[in-house]
Amino acid sequence: MNSIILLAATRLLVPLLLVFSFYMLLRGHNTPGGGFIGGLIGATGFVVYAIACGTDLARQALRVPPEKVAMVGLGIALFAGVMAAFFGDIFFTGQWLFIGETEDDKGLPLSSVLIFDIGVYLVVLGSILTLAFALEEGV
Amino acid sequence: MAGHDTETDPNARWLSVPGQAPVLVAAAVFVMLWQALPAVSAGEALRFAWDWVPSLGISLSFLIDGLSLTFGLLISGIGALVFLYASKYLQGHPHFARFMLFLTLFMLAMLGLVLADNLLTLFVFWELTTITSYLLIGFDHSTSKARRSALQALLLTGAGALALLAGIVLIGTAAGTFELSEIRAQGDVLQEHALYLPILILVLIGAFTKSAQFPLHFWLPNAMAAPTPVSAYLHSATMVKAGVYLLARMHPNLGGTDVWLWTLTIFGAVTAVFASVMALKQTDLKQALAYTTLMALGTLTLFLAADIGYAITAAMTFLVVHSLYKAALFLVVGIIDHGTGSRDVYELGGLARAMPITAAAAGIAALSMAGFPPFIGFISKEIKYAGALAVQSEPYLVAGAALLANALMVAVAGIVSFSPFWRRPHLAEKLSPHEAPWQMWVGPAILASLGAFFGIFPDSLAVALVNPGVAAILGPDVDPAALKLWAGINVPLLLSIATFAMGITIYIYRRPLRDRLIAMGERAISFDRGWDHVLDGLKAVAAWQTRLIQSGVMRQYLFITFATLFVGVGGTILARGGFSVDLAWPDLLLKHWVVIVLVVAGALVTLTTSSRIAAIAGLGAVGIGVALIFIIFGAPDVAITQLLVETLVVVLFGVAALKLPRLDPSGRKTHRPLDAALAVGVGVVITGVMLMVTAGPLDRRLTDYFEATSWPEAFGRNIVNVILVDFRALDTFGEIAVVVIAALGAYALLKGRSPEEKQ
């Protein structure tokens, strides 16, 4: 689509959307957001880019085929669930590690729940882009 | 010696891992089970148990008593010999390793089946044998005959297994446990239970399909499409006996009633006589052996009907005897096939000169099959006649069936192993026969020799396997019949002599008889063809209902979906007393009015426009209105998701809409009125449901729980997200798996078109 307005807007919007999608992913546990919403925003960024510059450039920017992104995401989510088994807990029990924990501050929380959310993010991003790219190329 | 060249050949397959490992596994199992023999012969039963799914009462428990040990030794012992044989028989086959893997898997499944003490564990192994049998029958999957036979066996035995599963569940509810040893300890609880008849029918369907009893027998001769080692092992010595094993195992719990006695007697007798007549008709050696296997299965069922020592001793003895000689004869037929390229009785003759060892093994095995002294087959036959004359049902019927079947067995034994080897040579030179390598003849030789050994020393078999087996079925108080080579001049001996006379007469007149049978067979009903009709009918019904429901037109799919929703929900509400809603007008603020106007305007645009883009934008406006409702009522996560999804849908649709035709104006007259009526109906019903739901008090138990535990237990303040990724992570995982599958499916549809279609 040869639209100068769209191209100019894209240059500004896409990086913002991608950074914002990560932000939404990471803050999701305590405030509105999460892997699903983050994935949707990230996908919107790539879809906008594909409409403005064509799917070839969008695929190059993604570097990995979107269907692989989705499947790797599913694998990561499964891994997050299986992790519990290594600590002797039931499948999908959240595992937490608090770095620099003090009396009244939890420090930097790392968890299998976050890994699971990253899996969800990649699944949503990959699945939507699989569809969107195929649709645009097919039309 | 023919084996010589393979021993020097470094590429010989049987020296490779897939060639040797299965033999070693089977031999190791055999030795392990052998060690249990002294204890079991002394009347002990060994039990091993591990918890599997304790909440459902499923344990991985195994019981080694006389019955399971007899089966276990046959399975592992014959398994070792058949694996050794197969390593030569399929030498050089591109899928050799796969074949050996399937065979080994089958052996382990079969061992699990006969050793299992838990009925559900038994069922799992039962199905595993069905599946491995399917893979082995269809091993030569490039031929349509093999594929059809494999599918037929799978569907028939699989359907029987479903009946068995239902029977097992009923047994579990009736007895309160799935452990066979516990059910057994309860005595006659199943026979006296109200559900006895349904249980019996379901279990018998399972056993009869697996053991190919008439009229569900036809899959077994077809299963001979498998390579010969499979026929020898699965479809003669082991798997088809699983049904017989089940009957023997359930004998203490389900047997002893009139229904049991007569059902098994009639099905067994009909199968035995029918199969031995059919065996005489065959000209293919393997088919003839397949029908004699059916006859053996019928005979075993026939004797398991009774609950007296003689009959059960006859069944246990014949079980062992049959496995020995039948596996040997199948392997011999494989050697003939391998060495000459033919299995047709009319083409074969005079092979004894070229294959002396095979001929000797075949002769000994056949003498045991025909029941000549001093082989174990003779003793087995005497016991069968003694058992037949002692049964409670109808001694003359049982003895008559046994006599007829045995006489035909004598004739078939001659056809299978006398005429190909000793008859005047016909085409022997053209076929250029040669002796098999030692890996192939050692199996039949050992099995045939065992038949002779047990015939001369019958006590060894009786003490080791038969008596413990009888004790496992009838309990330790019943005396098993003694196995003797010479029991004096009595009725069974006279019947034996009559058998030989009849059998030899039939053998001499086999050709005119066979022609007569073939002529008769053309007029009779073919169960095999009937099966095809059943399958065709099933496919026709499937095609008809697919055409009806899957029209391929999007509008009709949507119409059917929403009509189902309308009728289902609306009908339920009407049946439960109709709507009862207090329509109190709420106080609406400005923001509420904005949402209402937005949604209504969006809907109106969608309905009236003739442009697809405008319609989808209108729907997007409705969606945004809904997202605003979520924001107003404090669900920002849901609102954000809704907004993003609406945006993406509009973008994606905008891309696709370029290729779609304009909206069809003729629809306004033809189907739009109906669509509008349905839309209004669904809207009214859903609105009513929503009003009724919100009229009741809100159950806050779940909300309170998540509010209270979200932070202390899952360290998250966003309850929606904590539920998604922690409390209900498994659900989310299922959902994202669906998302991936849907995306891949749609991708395949979009990309799967050929380049011409895309233009």
pLDDT tens-digit readout, B229-247: 888 888 888 888 999 999 9
Half-sphere exposure of B77 (CA within 13 A, CB side): 19
Instruction: Report how far residue B254's alpha carbon sits from residue B257's, in angstroms, rounded to the nearest whole number.
Output: 8
Pick from A77-91, B504-518, B661-675, B738-752: least confident: B661-675
Instruction: Report how far residue B295's alpha carbon sits from residue B220's, in angstroms, rounded to the nearest whole number.
Output: 12
Task: Look at residues B284, B373, B361 and name the one whose alpha carbon lies nearest to residue B328.
Answer: B361
From the candidates B650, B736, B750, which should be mutated to test the interface with A, based on the most A CB atoms within 10 A? B736
* Residue B39 in tokens: 């204890």
Instruction: Report how far residue B653's alpha carbon sits from residue B87's, in angstroms, rounded to the nearest whole number.
Output: 60
Instruction: Report how far residue A38's alpha carbon sits from residue A44's, in angstroms, rounded to the nearest whole number.
Output: 10
Q: Which residues contact B274 (CB under 8 A, 6 or more apart)?
A: B214, B217, B294, B298
Does residue B101 have a pLDDT over 50? yes
* Range 84-113 of A in CB contact (< 8 A) with B: 91-92, 94, 96, 106, 109, 111, 113
Exposure b/e, B515-552, CB count within 10 A at least 16 = b: eebeeeeeeeeeeeeebeeeeeeeeeeeeeeeeeeeee
Q: What is the pLDDT of residue B200?
A: 92
* Number of residues that make up chain B: 759
With tokens 């069944």, the residue in question is B315
Exposure b/e, B192-224, CB count within 10 A at least 16 = b: ebeebeebbebbbbbbbbbbbbbebbbbbbbbb
- Pairing, β A96-99 against β A108-111: antiparallel
Give the pLDDT band (50/70/90) at residue B248: very high
Instruction: Report how far residue B332's alpha carbon sits from residue B349's, in angstroms, rounded to the nearest whole number.
Output: 14
Nearest to B644 among A29, A37, A78 (CB): A37
Does residue B594 have a pLDDT over 50? yes
pLDDT tens-digit readout, B145-196: 889 999 999 999 999 999 999 999 999 988 888 888 888 888 788 888 888 9
Q: Checking phi first, is residue B415 left (phi over 0); if not, alpha (psi -120 to 50) or beta? A: alpha
Q: What is the SS3 assignment for B496? A: helix
Q: What is the pLDDT of residue A83?
A: 85
* Residue A70 in tokens: 């989705």
Inter-chain residue contact B739 with A127, CB threshold 8 Å:
yes
Q: What is the nearest CA distance from B663 to chain A, expressed in angstroms?
A: 18
| Count of Cβ atoms closer than 10 Å to residue B178 Cβ | 23
Query: If you average pLDDT over each of B5-9, B584-588, B670-674, which comes out highest?
Result: B670-674
- Judging by beta carbons within 10 Å of its beta carbon (0-12, 13-18, 19+), is residue B582 exposed, middle or buried? exposed
Pick from B284-293, B521-530, B673-682: least confident: B521-530
Pick from A12-16, B273-277, B431-435, B640-644: least confident: B431-435
Average pLDDT, integer, range A100-112: 74
Average pLDDT, integer, range B521-540: 82
Does residue B737 have a pLDDT over 90? yes
Alpha helices by DSSP H, listed for B577-718, are 590-608, 612-632, 636-657, 667-670, 672-695, 701-714
Average pLDDT, chain B: 84
Instruction: Report how far residue B27's alpha carbon sits from residue B355's, in angstroms, rounded to the nearest whole number.
Output: 27
Instruction: Report how far residue B639's alpha carbon sits from residue B633's, in angstroms, rounded to the nearest whole number.
Output: 10
pLDDT tens-digit readout, B43-87: 788 888 888 877 777 888 898 988 999 999 999 999 999 999 888
Main-chain phi, psi angles of B434, to 5 degrees? -145, 155
Give the pLDDT band (50/70/90) at residue B7: very low
Does residue B11 have a pLDDT over 60? no
Q: Which residues of A touch B716 (CB under 8 A)?
A: 29-30, 113
Q: What is the pLDDT of residue B751?
A: 80
Q: What is the pLDDT of residue A15?
A: 93
Beta bridge partners of A30: none
**In angstroms, what CA-CA distances link A108 with A33, A38, B267, B448, B493?**
19, 21, 74, 76, 91
Does B732 contact A at CB distance below 8 Å?
yes
Does A72 contact B at CB distance below 8 Å?
no
Beta bridge partners of B620: none
Does B724 contact A at CB distance below 8 Å?
yes
Q: What is the pLDDT of residue A110?
A: 79
Task: Look at residues B136, B166, B218 and name the one whose alpha carbon lies nearest to residue B534.
Answer: B218
From the candidates A123, A129, A133, A137, which should be mutated to test the interface with B, based on the most B CB atoms within 10 A? A123
Give me the sign of the Cα torsion angle B524, B529, B534, B536.
negative
DSSP state of B223: G
Instruction: Report how far residue B606's alpha carbon sits from residue B677's, in angstroms, rounded to the nearest whole number.
Output: 16
Q: What is the pLDDT of residue B562?
A: 94
Give the pLDDT band (50/70/90) at residue B6: very low
User: How many degrees, rounded to 5, is the angle at CA B408 between CA B402 and CA B411?
Assistant: 145
Q: What is the pLDDT of residue B425?
A: 63
Inter-chain residue contact A91 with B717, CB threshold 8 Å:
no
Beta bridge partners of B64: B46
**In angstroms, what CA-CA distances link B459 with B14, B36, B455?**
37, 19, 9
| Spatial contact of B333 and B415, defined as CB atoms under 8 Å apart | no
Instruction: Report how far residue B695's alpha carbon sits from residue B23's, in angstroms, rounded to the nearest whole number.
Output: 72
- Judging by beta carbons within 10 Å of its beta carbon (0-12, 13-18, 19+), is residue B189 exposed, middle or buried? middle
Main-chain phi, psi angles of B442, to 5 degrees? -65, -35
Main-chain phi, psi angles of B50, to 5 degrees? -130, 145
Inter-chain residue contact B637 with A111, CB threshold 8 Å:
no
pLDDT tens-digit readout, B478-530: 777 777 777 777 777 888 888 888 888 888 888 888 888 887 776 666 778 88
- Rounded to the nearest 10 degrees, what angle do helices B96-115 and B66-89 cross at? 180
Instruction: Report how far residue A29's alpha carbon sits from residue A35's, in angstroms, rounded to the nearest whole number.
Output: 10
More confident call, A97 vs B117 = B117
Q: What is the pLDDT of residue B374?
A: 82
Q: Which residues of B touch A71 (CB under 8 A)?
A: 740
Nearest CA in chain A to B713: A94
**In angstroms, what CA-CA distances link A124 with A1, A41, B741, B742?**
26, 10, 12, 11
Task: Look at residues B204, B403, B393 and name the one whose alpha carbon lies nearest to residue B311.
Answer: B393
Instruction: Report how far residue B183's alpha carbon sits from residue B197's, in angstroms, rounded to the nearest whole number.
Output: 17
Q: What is the SS3 assignment for B1? A: coil
**In angstroms, what CA-CA distances link B565 with B568, B573, B674, B681, B682?**
5, 12, 16, 10, 7
Q: Which residues of A touch B729 (CB under 8 A)?
A: 80-81, 92, 94, 113, 116
Q: What is the pLDDT of residue B666?
A: 65
CA B543 to chain centre: 26
Helix (H) or strand (E) holding B5: helix B4-8
* Residue B155 in tokens: 């569907």
Does residue A34 have a pLDDT over 80? yes
CA A115 to chain centre: 11
Does residue B757 have a pLDDT over 70? no
Average pLDDT, integer, range B391-399: 77
One-letter identity of residue B436: A
Inter-chain residue contact B736 with A73, CB threshold 8 Å:
yes
Main-chain phi, psi angles of B252, to 5 degrees? -65, -30
**In angstroms, what CA-CA distances link B247 with B125, B178, B264?**
16, 16, 9
With tokens 């065959």, the residue in question is B282
3-state secondary structure A43-65: HHHHHHHHHHHCHHHHHHHHCCC
Inter-chain residue contact B742 with A127, CB threshold 8 Å:
yes
Pick from A7-16, B26-35, B165-174, B281-290: least confident: B281-290
| Count of Cβ atoms closer than 10 Å to residue B66 Cβ | 25
Q: What is the pLDDT of residue B426?
A: 58
Beta bridge partners of B46: B64
Instruction: Report how far residue B274's alpha carbon sits from residue B318's, in angstroms, rounded to the nearest whole number.
Output: 19
Percent of chain B with pLDDT over 70: 94
Task: Look at residues B51, B41, B28 and name the one whose alpha carbon lies nearest to residue B108.
Answer: B28
More confident call, B461 vs B538 = B538
Does A39 contact B at CB distance below 8 Å?
no
Pick from B201-215, B250-264, B512-526, B603-617: least confident: B512-526
ipTM: 0.90
Beta bridge partners of A108: A99
pLDDT tens-digit readout, B310-344: 888 888 888 998 999 889 988 988 888 888 877 87
User: How many degrees, rounded to 5, is the angle at CA B197 between CA B195 and CA B201?
Assistant: 120
Q: What is the nearest CA distance from B726 to chain A, expressed in angstroms?
A: 6
Q: What is the SS3 assignment for B53? A: strand
Q: What is the pLDDT of residue B8?
A: 43
With tokens 């006895």, the residue in question is B196
Average pLDDT, integer, range B615-633: 89
pLDDT tens-digit readout, B200-233: 999 999 999 999 888 888 888 888 888 888 888 8
| Spatial contact of A119 and A76, defined as CB atoms under 8 Å apart | yes
Nearest to B743 among A116, A120, A131 (CB): A131
Q: How many CB pairs under 8 A join A and B?
A: 143
| Count of Cβ atoms closer than 10 Å to residue A100 Cβ | 8
Q: Which residues of A touch B750 (CB under 8 A)?
A: 131, 134-135, 138
Instruction: Report how far residue B196's alpha carbon sits from residue B202's, in angstroms, rounded to the nearest whole number.
Output: 10
Nearest to B716 among A30, A73, A132 (CB): A30
* Residue B503 in tokens: 């059998």
Instruction: Report how far residue B22's alpha carbon sits from residue B41's, in angstroms, rounded to the nearest whole number.
Output: 28
Give the pLDDT band (50/70/90) at residue B282: confident
Inter-chain residue contact A126 with B743, CB threshold 8 Å:
yes
Does B554 contact A at CB distance below 8 Å?
no
Q: What is the pLDDT of residue B587?
A: 79
